[in-house]
């Protein structure tokens, strides 16, 4: 197997800010696997929050043995960005070898479009109200929060988009006390879900706490091994390919989470359509789909995903799978 790793940069349409910082571009790694005349590709977004860099993830991928397959990669690489790009590239490679689509190989029904959230960047209340008004036509808005002064931002977004369904992502930025104070206001403002209100290492405080709005585990949930630690704290798990280490583990995590009574959200890092493409299979029937990465970019892959009023559509074969 020939393995090629390249770094690609996609400009963002505007500055994107969360509680941890701001960015103006998406830096991704593209993996191409070639076996004879057939090749497949996948994308990952190394994430500093999990100790990943472009260099470290590249080294993991380039350290693979000459011979590997999708089953062995689950053991050769840990859950994370490196395994994600390789696993998704292997799915694409297998599709081209078999002349079938990825959902056929996975034994899944033919996928359709799923309504996706559109993320509003963390900013001043005035600017967030303006963002909300600009995108008020969208059925689902996701608000980036995670500071001690979030109430004016919440009020501003609801005023700017009075009819939109809203979910909130605190990115581990709240304390237990702050979340408890905010919870009644989340209900009052019609928030449908709150993502990772507390730091992953401090979420024991959620046990026994009232959850009037469903609470979703993001940084606290990576793969199936995370599930035992979520009991009593969360109602929903956010499955991201860059956390699970690819579609193979993501599909297994979805099945296990649903069996344990969790709802499923399917999310993404800020990447191109290639990164989102495998996740559209995972998102079928999810309580929340958050695959808006390409909508935040000023540029994308040559054959991008299609977004319209019905949501994000599954990829064309020319893109992936």
Active site residues: 144, 240
Cβ-Cβ contacts under 8 Å for 196 (sequence gap 6 or more) = 169, 170, 171, 172, 216, 217, 218, 219, 220, 238
CA angle, residues 213, 216, 221, in degrees to nearest 5 = 165
Cβ-Cβ contacts under 8 Å for 295 (sequence gap 6 or more) = 116, 118, 307
Counted residue by residue, the chain has a size of 321
Alpha carbon distance 196, 267 (integer Å): 13
Beta bridge partners of 308: 311
Query: Would you say 316 and 29 are in contact if contact means Cβ atoms under 8 Å apart?
Result: no
Query: Based on the number of CB atoms within 10 Å of its own CB, is 200 exposed (0-12), middle (13-18) or buried (19 or more)?
Result: middle
- In terms of Cα–Cα distance, which of 201, 231, 232 is closest to 219? 201
Query: Would you say 310 and 115 are in contact if contact means Cβ atoms under 8 Å apart?
Result: yes
Cβ-Cβ contacts under 8 Å for 241 (sequence gap 6 or more) = 44, 84, 88, 247, 250, 268, 275, 278, 279, 282
Q: At what angle do helices 273-282 and 81-98 cross, to 10 degrees?
A: 80
- Strands 21-35, 2-18: pairing kind: antiparallel
Beta bridge partners of 110: none
Q: In whole angstroms, how far apart are CA 301 and each of 26, 279, 294?
A: 13, 16, 9
């Amino acid at each position: 197997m020939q393995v090629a790793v390249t770094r690609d940069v996609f400009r963002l349409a505007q500055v994107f800010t969360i509680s941890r910082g701001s960015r103006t571009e998406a830096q991704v790694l593209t993996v191409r696997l070639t076996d004879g005349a057939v090749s497949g590709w996948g994308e990952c977004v190394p994430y500093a929050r999990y100790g990943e860099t472009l260099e470290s993830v590249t080294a993991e991928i380039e350290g693979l043995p000459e011979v590997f397959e999708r089953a062995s990669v689950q053991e050769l690489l840990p859950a994370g960005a490196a395994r994600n790009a390789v696993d998704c590239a292997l799915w694409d490679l297998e599709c081209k070898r078999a002349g079938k689509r990825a959902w056929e190989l996975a034994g899944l029904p033919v996928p359709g479009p799923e309504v996706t959230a559109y993320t509003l960047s963390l900013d001043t209340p005035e600017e967030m109200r303006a963002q909300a008004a600009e995108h008020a036509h969208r059925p689902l808005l996701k608000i980036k929060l995670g500071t001690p002064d979030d109430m004016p931002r919440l009020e501003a977004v609801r005023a700017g988009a009075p009819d939109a369904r809203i979910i909130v992502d605190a990115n581990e930025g709240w304390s237990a006390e702050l979340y408890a104070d905010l919870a009644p206001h989340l209900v009052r403002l019609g928030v449908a879900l709150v993502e990772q209100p507390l730091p992953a290492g401090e979420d024991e405080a959620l046990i026994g706490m009232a959850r009037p709005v469903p609470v979703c585990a993001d940084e606290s949930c990576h793969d199936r091994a995370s599930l035992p630690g979520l009991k009593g704290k969360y109602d929903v798990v956010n499955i991201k390919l860059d956390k699970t280490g690819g579609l193979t583990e993501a599909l297994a995590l979805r099945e296990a989470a649903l069996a344990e009574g969790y709802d499923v959200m399917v999310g993404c890092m800020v990447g191109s359509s290639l990164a989102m493409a495998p996740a559209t299979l995972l998102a079928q029937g999810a309580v929340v789909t958050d695959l808006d990465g390409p909508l935040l970019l000023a540029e994308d892959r040559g054959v991008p995903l299609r977004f319209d009023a019905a949501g994000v559509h599954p990829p064309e074969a020319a893109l992936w799978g």
